[in-house]
Amino acid sequence: MDYKNIKMFVFDNDATLFNHRIGGIEDDVFDALIKLKGKGYKLCLNTSRSYEETYNIPKKLYELMDMVILLAGAYVFNNDKIDIRYIDDDKVKQLINYFDTHDVTYRYCLDNGVGYLNRHDEDKEAIFKRLYNMIPKIKKYENERVIHFIYYALGDTKQDIIKISNGLSHSNLRLGGEIAPSNTGKAYGVKLACEKFNIDPKDVCAFGDGGNDVEMLEYAGLGIAMGNGSDECKQAADYVTEDINENGIVNALKRFEFI
């Protein structure tokens, strides 16, 4: 395939752009993004973080992005407005009933961009602190409309949750999964960006590292997995670049002569 027709780059954030070892984004990566922007490419951030969880993402990254997609496409900044999609209320109640009766820790996010943990859980709170430099407030669900879940469960419990989530967007995470509204997910985010900028998906290059990036890498014309990525992410990619600690994004952009 000829990748010289690429017109837009879509980036996952955590462990793709954002290096948690240094607590930020490498200067070389910023320089590469600036070069892409200078060449007229569209840039899009496509992350499963909530608005509140973007606390430690540098402002200058937002300034480079032509579109920002949060919560796997459920919360999208589009033309100075926010487009929101909701999980069906009956599904929300089924999921929360299962979570609460099976001792599952979860983060649910509302349409104000704020997420809440259902209970204190030191291990899971430490994950949020390490990844996002914040910890969601603890609050029991009170029949609000929900737009996204992250849950922490494996084995048979996870399989049960996947079954309950049938019809919704479900993606695997290392310690559990994330659930977004029907017909969303990171590929949906790329689709929105393509529609906004009148770009064919085959003219998109996407970078990711996790199970929730798989469909995005498959949907884009050129899907690039980080060397530190999960096995399923690498298998879905057209190309696997180096680890984030080894300048993976910059190396790939040079390898394909985008910069």
Same domain, residue pair 80 and 96: no
Domains identified in the chain, total number: 2
Domain of residue 173: give its range.
89-180
pTM of the model: 0.91
Q: Which residues of 53-72 are buried (b: 16+ CB within 10 A; e: fewer)?
A: bbeebeeebeeebebbbbbb
Domain co-membership, 96 together with 149 = yes
Same-domain check for residues 129 and 163: yes
Boundary-marking domain end, from 114, 145, 180: 180
Are residues 102 and 164 located together in one domain of the fold? yes
pLDDT digits 0-9 by tens, 118-151: 999 999 999 999 889 999 999 999 999 999 999 9
Which pLDDT score, from 0 to 100, does residue 224 have? Answer: 98
Last residue of a domain, one of 121, 145, 180: 180
- What is the reported pLDDT for 1? 67
Give yes or no: residues 176 and 197 share one domain: no
Task: List per-residue pLDDT tens for the chain, 259 residues long.
Answer: 678 899 999 999 999 999 999 989 999 999 999 999 999 999 999 999 999 999 889 999 999 999 999 998 999 987 778 899 999 999 999 999 999 999 999 999 999 999 999 999 999 999 999 889 999 999 999 999 999 999 999 999 999 999 999 999 999 988 999 999 998 999 999 999 999 999 999 999 999 999 999 999 999 999 999 999 999 999 999 999 999 999 999 999 999 999 9
CATH code for the domain of 249: 3.40.50.1000
Looking at the fold, whether 31 and 104 belong to one and the same domain comes out as no
Sequence-separated (6 or more) residues with CB below 8 Å from residue 207? 9, 10, 11, 12, 16, 17, 224, 225, 226, 241, 249, 252
Residues 75 and 108 in one domain: no
Domain end (from 146, 180, 214): 180
Same domain, yes or no, for 228 and 189?
yes
* Count of other CB atoms within 10 angstroms of residue 244: 25
| Residues 106 and 153 grouped into a single domain | yes
What's the CATH code of the domain at 157?
3.30.1240.10
pLDDT at 106: 98
Residues 169 and 95 occupy one common structural domain: yes
Do 67 and 176 lie in one domain? The reply is no
Report in angstroms the alpha-carbon separations of 189 from 138, 172, 240.
29, 17, 22
Return all residues near 216 (Cβ < 8 A) that are at least 6 apart. 10, 12, 46, 185, 186, 187, 189, 190, 206, 208, 223
Task: Please check whether residue 191 is in contact with residue 216, taking contact to mean a CB–CB distance below 8 angstroms.
Answer: no
Query: What are the pLDDT digits (tens) for 36-69?
Result: 999 999 999 999 999 999 988 999 999 999 999 9
Residues 196 and 217 in one domain: yes
Q: What is the pLDDT of residue 81?
A: 83
